[in-house]
Structure 1
Amino acid sequence: MDRRRGLSVRVKLTLSYAGFLLFAGVLLLAVVWFFLLRQRSSVYLPTFDDLLLAFNPGNFGPRIFSPAAVVVLAFLLVVGLVGGWVLAGRMLAPLTRITSAARKAANGSLSHRIELEGRGDEFRVLADAFDTMLAQLETRDAEQQRFAANASHELRTPLAVMQTILDVAGQDPSPDGREERLRAVTARAIALTEALLILGRADQRLFVREDVDLSLLAEEAVETLLPLAEKHHVAVETSSDPAITVGSHALLLQMNTNLLHNAIVHNLPENGTVRIATSMDAEGVTLTVENTGERLRPELISTLTEPFQRGTGRIRSDQAGVGLGLAIVKTIVRAHDGTLTLTPGVAGGLRVTVRLPIAQVPR
């Protein structure tokens, strides 16, 4: 925004302090003159015209603007200017530090913090809010850098495999299953690209909001993934109470599908269980997906929502996915102003809880 150049806040405060001090000095001298004049006559009280005439040294009354009075007023003015400049500098020192931190952040330095000391006031509240914003920006920037590096690596691997298969096919045209491998690698690259598109769409909140019942989406996800659950010998238990929120139907369905797919794949080898439940209260709606499985370390759970992280490490399997399942869920939940909580199960496995705002029911 273009602004006209004006006086700085420090100069304004300085002039205000000096002007107030000068006014106080003049008022003090006027009061002293008033009482001195009253002592000279117990009957006569000066009128307003007398007070105006007193400002002329040649008129009746004490000479309020005598050389000594002028010296006193000049001294008060100098003290007001110097004291006001020093006090204004001390008062505006926090603002100077905030401005310096903002400039460093604009130049790309997000690790700097203001950390104003002292009791809370307007400047310190502003500094704390700015520090919080810088911390969030630094975290998001680090996540974006890790995501870009991991995405480049994940995309480069299938493309390199495809190039190798094509090179071998050019030298040896005899079929040996290369077509199937090429199809599998291509399908994986397509799946990764689609996942990246979903991440970008959800993170930028480029979707239309509407009333969505999570219980219906959970049932749809169960019907879609029931063959996969049967293949992995996993029983799916549902408890679907109405849970109406506001958001994108497609993205929230993707969230349900990813959570259920993750719970089925990362489960016990035999006789595993997945429990999916929805509920609603006065403060919001809740989706819970819990599965059986091996015990997970807390430090591992904290990394599961990072892009390209898998619960059993960076391994490949027929159902390992592209490593973006929970990362997509986290982005979708954040785009819908919700919260995502991951906790270890009592006997093993993982419990995922999603809290979303409740839809406003029209009266």
Structure 2
Amino acid sequence: MSVRLKLTLSYTGFLMIAGALLLAAVWVFLLRYVPERALIVPGSTGTPTHGVFPIRSNLLRVFAPRAAAVLAFLLVLGLVGGWILAGRILAPLTRITDATRMATNGSLSHRIRLPGRKDEFRELADAFDTMLARLEAHVAEQRRFAANASHELRTPLAISKTLLDVARTDPNHDTGELIDRLHAVNTRAINLTEALLLLSHANERSFTREPVDLSLLVEEATETLLPLAEKHGVTIETSGDITPTTGSQALLLQLTTNLVHNAIVHNLPEQGTVWVTTSVRPRTVVLTVENTGEKLAPELASTLTEPFQRGSERIHTDHAGVGLGLAIVKTITHAHDGTLTLTPRSAGGIRITVELPAISPHTER
């Protein structure tokens, strides 16, 4: 039984019950104020007849057929009117159902755009349109990410195959150089695979939350990357307050390490500086990483968090990475319900700010 038929029968049943109650009320009123019998006095009605006549029985014979006719009319009216009203009410639901079928078949570009006043169906349609828009964007991002990942993974494999073919056709080739190049290529492939796994893990939000102090993670990350900074001639300056938050210590350490590493390797050729600061706001904690470097356009800075997106000349350096550093930072930040902001510095370089929810007093206990 369809919903439209159920609504029709419900309307009809309600109308029949209301009509029966109304007729019953009229009948009770008549029984209350109409005597059971009446005495007819000659001349009082213009007729010579006289005697006692039963009024109620005559009234029942007159009232019953008319009451049945009214109920029959209400039955027909309820069925026809209920069917029409149910169809008009359920029309938006039909559009939503059609859009759902189209989305099930893979068409995510369709939108309901339900007209009319804002009611429950309009809110449902608008929510469904919003969900379709987000789903379409997510699917497009995943397809782009899969294509980029396939391309990035294919590159080291193709290089390895070429090196092996060279070694096979040229037995006199320097074996040590070949091994070193294969080692470098395989290391890059391993790093890319590990980065993809980390990105997937952060997207799933399957980590256990625990109290974490970002200032301690900054100390650990800067201490680990200090040799790399010295190699690049970069000075690291750290400052700030204790910044307690909740989340995965391993993921937040990876976030901090990626930011500091990114600030070191994409800096001035020499005499560069990296500033790492932590601060506390009323409801959030903030990690800020700034560096010197070449000037970046705002439109370029906004794309650096996309997977496999690199800034100018980054791919030519020996620490170009796999193009997932800031993408991982963005994913970890969102997984911790935080916000990530990239702002080019007027003097050159970039300022990256990560804002996370501060730890609550209840959690701190």
AA matched with 1:99: T
TM-score, structure 1 length as denominator? 0.86
Residue 160 of structure 1 corresponds to 158
Alignment of structure 1 residues 335-346 onto 2, 5 Å: 335-346=335-346
Once residues 21 and 63 of structure 1 are traced to their aligned partners in structure 2, the CA distance between those partners, rounded to angstroms, is 24
Shift of 1:258: 0.7
Alignment of structure 1 residues 129-278 onto 2, 5 Å: 129-176=127-174, 177-278=177-278
Shift of 1:181: 1.8
* Distance change >3 Å, CA 291–CA 60, structure 1 → 2: farther
Query: In 1, are the aligned partners of 2:31 and 2:56 still within 8 Å (CA)?
Result: no
AA matched with 2:151: H
Alignment of structure 1 residues 97-116 onto 2, 5 Å: 97-116=95-114
Alignment of structure 1 residues 72-91 onto 2, 5 Å: 72-91=70-89
Once residues 102 and 314 of structure 2 are traced to their aligned partners in structure 1, the CA distance between those partners, rounded to angstroms, is 37
Q: Which is higher, the Rg of structure 1 or of structure 2?
A: 2
* Distance change >3 Å, CA 40–CA 361, structure 1 → 2: closer
Residue 29 of structure 1 corresponds to 23
Once residues 333 and 64 of structure 1 are traced to their aligned partners in structure 2, the CA distance between those partners, rounded to angstroms, is 81
Query: In 2, are the aligned partners of 1:205 and 1:335 still within 8 Å (CA)?
Result: yes
Once residues 182 and 270 of structure 2 are traced to their aligned partners in structure 1, the CA distance between those partners, rounded to angstroms, is 32
Secondary structure of 1:328 counterpart: helix
Query: In 1, are the aligned partners of 2:7 and 2:82 still within 8 Å (CA)?
Result: yes
Please, which of 20, 31, 37 is the counterpart of residue 14 of structure 2?
20
Once residues 236 and 61 of structure 2 are traced to their aligned partners in structure 1, the CA distance between those partners, rounded to angstroms, is 100
AA matched with 2:15: L
Once residues 234 and 119 of structure 1 are traced to their aligned partners in structure 2, the CA distance between those partners, rounded to angstroms, is 61
Residue 43 of structure 2 corresponds to none
Query: In 2, are the aligned partners of 1:30 and 1:64 still within 8 Å (CA)?
Result: no
Secondary structure of 2:111 counterpart: coil
Once residues 68 and 313 of structure 1 are traced to their aligned partners in structure 2, the CA distance between those partners, rounded to angstroms, is 93
Secondary structure of 1:59 counterpart: helix
Unaligned runs of 5+ in 2: 39-54
Once residues 314 and 72 of structure 1 are traced to their aligned partners in structure 2, the CA distance between those partners, rounded to angstroms, is 86
Shift of 1:182: 1.8
Shift of 1:234: 2.4
Secondary structure of 1:306 counterpart: coil
Once residues 209 and 324 of structure 2 are traced to their aligned partners in structure 1, the CA distance between those partners, rounded to angstroms, is 24
* Distance change >3 Å, CA 346–CA 65, structure 1 → 2: farther
Give per-residue Cα distances to partners, 1:195-221, cap 9 Å, x unaligned: 111112212223332211111111111
Once residues 312 and 168 of structure 1 are traced to their aligned partners in structure 2, the CA distance between those partners, rounded to angstroms, is 32
Give per-residue Cα distances to partners, 1:158-182, cap 9 Å, x unaligned: 1111111111112223344323222
Secondary structure of 1:310 counterpart: coil
AA matched with 2:250: A
TM-score, structure 2 length as denominator? 0.85
Shift of 1:38: 6.3
Identity %, equivalent residues: 69
Secondary structure of 2:316 counterpart: coil
Aligned length: 343
- Is 1:11 aligned with 2:5? yes
Unaligned runs of 5+ in 1: 1-6, 45-56
Give per-residue Cα distances to partners, 1:270-291, cap 9 Å, x unaligned: 3332222222333222211122
AA matched with 1:110: L
Q: Over aligned residue pairs, what C-alpha RMSD do you find?
A: 2.5
Shift of 1:35: 5.4
Shift of 1:323: 0.5
The 10-residue stretch of structure 1 (270-279 or 22-31) with the greater mean CA deviation from structure 2: 22-31
AA matched with 2:248: S
